[in-house]
Amino acid sequence: MKNLTELHYFEVPTVMKHGLGAVNYLPEELASLGVKRPMVVTDQGVLKAGIINQVLKPLQEAEVFYILYDEVVYNPPLETVAAGTKKYLENNCDGLVAVGGGSPMDAAKAIGVEIAQGEPVLEYECADGKKPLTKRIPPLVCIPTTAGTGSEVTLWAVITDPARHYKFNVGGPLIAAHLALIDPLLHLSMPSWVTAGTGMDALCHAIECYTCAYAQPQTDAVALLSIEYAGKYLRRAVAYGQDVDARYYMAMSSMLAGLSYGAASAGAVHAMTQTMGGIFPVHHGLAVAATLGPVMEYNWMGEPAKYARIAQALGVNIHGMSERDAALAAVLEVKKLTEDVGIPTLTEMGLTVEDIPRLAQEAFNDPQTIGNPRDIDVKGYEKIYRRCFG
């Protein structure tokens, strides 16, 4: 563990409830949180896939009044948050239910910040010169429909500032959901490419948090099991969407990775992909998956023992291997998994080698560079990006 002289903290304000059909308990969970007029925050994808009906049905049956805000867009910008805040206030809502992947959950958290603080969420960006959160958000239930971001248990929301082409973080214990209600049955209809991208994002959260400078025993413990579940179940979930066991354990992998991410930071992959996502409309999970292998190739020598343990968690028999060989086996395993689940390249996502200098500079400027297990500068990021383009 690095930085032993610092005071570390691990706080999880979120209650986690999970199981097949968990969503049917939503009315009583809202009642126990004292919520009578929830605003359900979601996006058009969840709406069109019909998944939202599985969440709204129990509310309708229990005659719970609710408002639906279904205009969250991918990588939610400030306007999406502001429009949600307006709708919440106009309808005198008293709580939030986020249904979806990272975008609706992060948007709901940010709406919660605006409601609690009475100011635009941009004022509370995690950056020098900005204000710390001082008030708890209204009761928030997060119901993830993908297994990847772990936002249902993290202390973070990622919001896009279109003016700066930048995705910023806002966070701390006051922004966390009150309840994560995890129902793997909502994941059965997830398309295989979304399963692949979001699952690789979960794996990446676990790997980056396990090896970053802020790692601590609590985050290590949950990260390792998250890696193990992703190694065992992601291929199955991608191959056969109706595999309930695989869906359940990927949902758990994502949640455990979220716990490891929740109290700390990530590393180079997230420095690269969050900044990339502010500039290009890439899918976060797919971008993460396309960059994870090359970053691990660069990073392994910063934490060789932990990389060897990652290999073991991914099912590699490291008995008799040198630490170096075991660490490199982790890199190879992740690359194999990336290939097996069919992740497109950055070129296929519309990026070109000409973008590398800008992308490398932006990644270096991102605060998540600081926790990376191997020292990295702009040249280091350029090298990794060149590997991503093959």
Nearer to Fe ion, 201 or 303 (CB): 201
State how beta strands 179-182 and 15-18 pair.
Answer: parallel
Which of 199, 231 has the CB closer to Fe ion?
199
- Positions in 190-219 near Fe ion (CB under 5 A): 201
Least CB distance to Fe ion at residue 7 (A)? 26
Q: How far is the CB of 287 from Fe ion (least distance, A)?
A: 9
State the helix-helix crossing angle for 268-279 and 356-365, rounded to 10 degrees: 120
Contact between 199 and 253 under an 8 Å Cβ cutoff? The reply is yes
The whole-angstrom separation of Cα 47 and Cα 200 is 24
Q: Report in angstroms how near the CB of residue 262 gets to Fe ion at its nearest.
A: 12
**Nearest residue (CB) to Fe ion, 55 versus 230:** 230
Distance of closest approach, residue 198 Cβ to Fe ion, in angstroms: 9
Q: List the interface residues with Fe ion, window 249-308 (CB under 5 A).
A: none
CA distance 68 to 75: 19
The least distance separating Fe ion from the CB of residue 376, rounded to whole angstroms, comes to 18
Complex with Fe ion: residue 195 or 312, whichever CB lies closer: 195
Nearest residue to Fe ion, by Cβ distance, number only: 201
4: which 2 tokens? 């032993």
Nearer CB in complex with Fe ion: 104/138? 104
Cβ-in-10-Å burial (0-12, 13-18, 19+) of 156 comes to buried
**Which residues contact residue 297 at a Cβ distance below 8 angstroms, ignoring those fewer than 6 apart?**
331, 384, 387
284-299 helix and 323-340 helix, angle to the nearest 10 degrees: 160
Distance in Å, CB of 344 to Fe ion, minimum: 17
Nearest distance from C-beta of residue 205 to Fe ion, angstroms? 6
Q: Which is nearer to Fe ion, 158 or 314 (CB)?
A: 158
> At closest approach, how far in Å is the CB of 90 from Fe ion?
33
**Cβ(293)–Cβ(207) under 8 Å?**
no
* Closest by Cα among 160, 257, 242 to 201: 257
What is the spatial distance between Cα 284 and Cα 276, in angstroms, rounded to a whole number? Answer: 9
Query: How far is Cα 264 from Cα 3, in angstroms, rounded to an integer?
Result: 13
Binding track over 148-187 against Fe ion, x by CB under 5 A? ----------------------------------------
Residue with tokens 């676990």: 206
Count of positions on this chain that bind Fe ion (CB under 5 A): 1
Pick between residue 29 and residue 152 the one whose CB is nearest to Fe ion.
Answer: 152
Nearest approach in angstroms of CB 284 to Fe ion is: 6
Given the complex with Fe ion, which of 201 and 333 has the nearer CB atom?
201
Query: Could you say whether residue 362 binds Fe ion (CB under 5 A)?
Result: no
Give the shortest CB-138-to-Fe ion separation in angstroms. Answer: 25
User: What does the angle CA 355 – CA 274 – CA 121 come to, to the nearest 5 degrees?
Assistant: 130
* Dihedral sign for Cα atoms in the order 72, 78, 79, 81: positive
Q: What is the DSSP letter of 12?
A: -
For Fe ion, give the closer residue by CB, 201 or 366.
Answer: 201
How near is the Cβ of 194 to Fe ion at its closest, in Å? 14
In angstroms, the CA 209 to CA 264 distance is: 7
Instruction: Compare residues 106 and 201 and give the one whose CB is closer to Fe ion.
Output: 201
Query: Could you give the residue ranges of the DSSP H alpha helices within the chain?
Result: 26-32, 44-48, 51-61, 78-90, 102-117, 192-211, 217-239, 244-262, 268-279, 284-299, 304-313, 323-340, 356-365, 378-388
Q: Which is nearer to Fe ion, 45 or 150 (CB)?
A: 150
Q: Which residues bind Fe ion (CB under 5 A)?
A: 201
